[in-house]
Amino acid sequence: MQSELNGRVVVVIGGTSGLGLSAVRACVLAGAGVVAVGRDAAKAEAVQAEFGDRVVVHVGDATESGTAEGAIALGQARWGRFDGLYHVAGGSGRRRGDGPLHLLTEEGWDYTMDLNLRSVFLSNRAAVRNFLKNGTSGSILNCGSVLGMSPSPRFFATQAYAASKAAIVGLTRSSAAQYAAHGIRFNVVAPALVATPMSQRAQSDEQILEFIRTKQPLDGGRIGKPDDLDGAVVWLLSDASRFVTGQVVVIDGGWMVSEGGSLKVEDSSLK
């Protein structure tokens, strides 16, 4: 992985914490110049201090039109090119009203869709427009979730979130078909439960941790780590995956092929 992205310029939307920050580190290690996008100015300053001239930080909201364009422009101004986009930004709408369908509020739906789907639409559109304008090829990688394909209502009954992540797959595959002849590739990485700021609730719940020990049985039945995704991210952004498009790479510790135990937990989702 040391030189797979040598000389390339990558924009990471959501690159100042969690999965995105881990990916920034991996891309820099692989030789790339990186534009890391995040909303928090303090986190942005910390990222800039860590990486120096290998990273340019852009403070902005991924749900706002113009943020991705600005990040791409920064990369081109600094390094003279743009080769790939990794969109990680997103999160849970649980506190805004996401939940089981019969309890899901309109505010929860709208907030979650903006956060997880509108943001992807905006960044992907900005990237593909740039590639087409400049007549260049490149890689666009989006972060989905196993919950968009393999529900877990006992502990993760947030159906707007699941719908938004499933929609990312549809957008990605449709776009992959549309732009393959231009050499523009679209793919998805879909993690299961990973230790990030978004998953604090799950990380502190003993019943969920017990469930994960059988639902994600690889490597001792643990919660994933952000760097579990990094190898796939670098590969999908690099020429090593030049013949790969429209694919969903699931990185889940065995989630999708495991039943997840038979815990005696009362199902409160219908109350």
> Tokens representing 150?
């393999």
161 is catalytic: yes
Radius of gyration of the chain (CA): 18
Q: Which of 86, 111, 161, 179 is catalytic?
A: 161
Which residue is listed with tokens 């797979």? 4
CB neighbour list of residue 133: distance below 8 Å, 6 or more residues apart: none
Query: Where do we find the tokens 């990973």?
Result: 194
| Cβ(121)–Cβ(65) below 8 Å | no
DSSP 10-75: EEEETTTSHHHHHHHHHHHHTT-EEEEEES-HHHHHHHHHHHGGGEEEEE--TTSTTHHHHHHHHH
What does DSSP say about strands 55-59 and 33-38: parallel, antiparallel, or unpaired?
parallel
Q: What share of the chain is helix, strand, coil (3-state, %, to 5)?
A: 50, 15, 35
Beta-carbon contacts of 24 under 8 Å, excluding residues fewer than 6 positions away, are: 12, 15, 34, 36, 47, 51, 55
Residue 100 main-chain phi, psi, to 5 deg? -60, 150
**Which residues belong to the active site?**
161
